[in-house]
């Protein structure tokens, strides 16, 4: 199920475009953001995402994106307006949240990173959600 005002997209979206695979918002994980990691190697993986409003709407005053849920500490978010859209920002840009100052009807690229640690068992963790918080207005 889609949000009628703003949505997150994965699947290698294009900066400034309207492509990408819409990430599920209904909690059913029908189209989640995914990262496959080998915990024994304490790996991390970055996933390119985009956020955009539906036509006729925009974000007023910026939108904050942050992982929430039981294992949210294993996820981080980065937005870097100076980075190229196809290359993840360096590790120093990732944090517990990121603020994107302007979102309208075209993709704005951001990145999420999942991290594993050797002390965890293999699992399909569905406890973490990527939450976008902001005020939506008419464009």
Chain segment 6-51, per-residue pLDDT in tens: 999 999 999 999 999 999 987 778 899 999 999 899 999 999 999 9
Chain segment 44-102, per-residue pLDDT in tens: 999 999 999 999 999 999 999 999 999 999 999 999 887 777 888 999 999 999 999 99
In whole angstroms, how large is the CA radius of gyration of the chain?
Answer: 15
Region at 11 (left for phi over 0; alpha for psi -120 to 50; beta for the rest): left
Angle at 128 between CA 1 and CA 26, to 5 degrees: 10
Q: Is the pTM of this model over 0.85?
A: yes
Residue 7 CA: distances (Å) to CA of 58, 98, 116: 11, 16, 27
CA 1 to CA 13: how far, in whole Å? Answer: 19
């Amino acid at each position: 199920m889609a949000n009628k005002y703003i949505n997150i997209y994965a699947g290698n979206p294009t900066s400034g475009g309207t492509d990408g695979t819409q990430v599920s918002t209904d909690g059913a994980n029908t189209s989640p953001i995914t990262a496959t990691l080998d915990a024994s190697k304490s790996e991390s993986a970055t996933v390119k995402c985009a956020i955009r409003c539906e036509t006729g709407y925009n974000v007023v005053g910026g939108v904050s994106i942050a992982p929430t849920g039981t294992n949210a500490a294993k996820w981080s978010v980065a937005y870097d307006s100076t980075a190229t859209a196809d290359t993840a920002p360096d590790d120093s840009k990732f944090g517990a949240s990121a603020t994107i100052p302007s979102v309208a009807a075209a993709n704005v690229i951001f990145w999420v990173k999942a991290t594993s640690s050797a002390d965890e068992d293999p699992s399909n963790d569905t406890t973490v959600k990527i939450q976008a918080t902001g005020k939506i207005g008419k464009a």
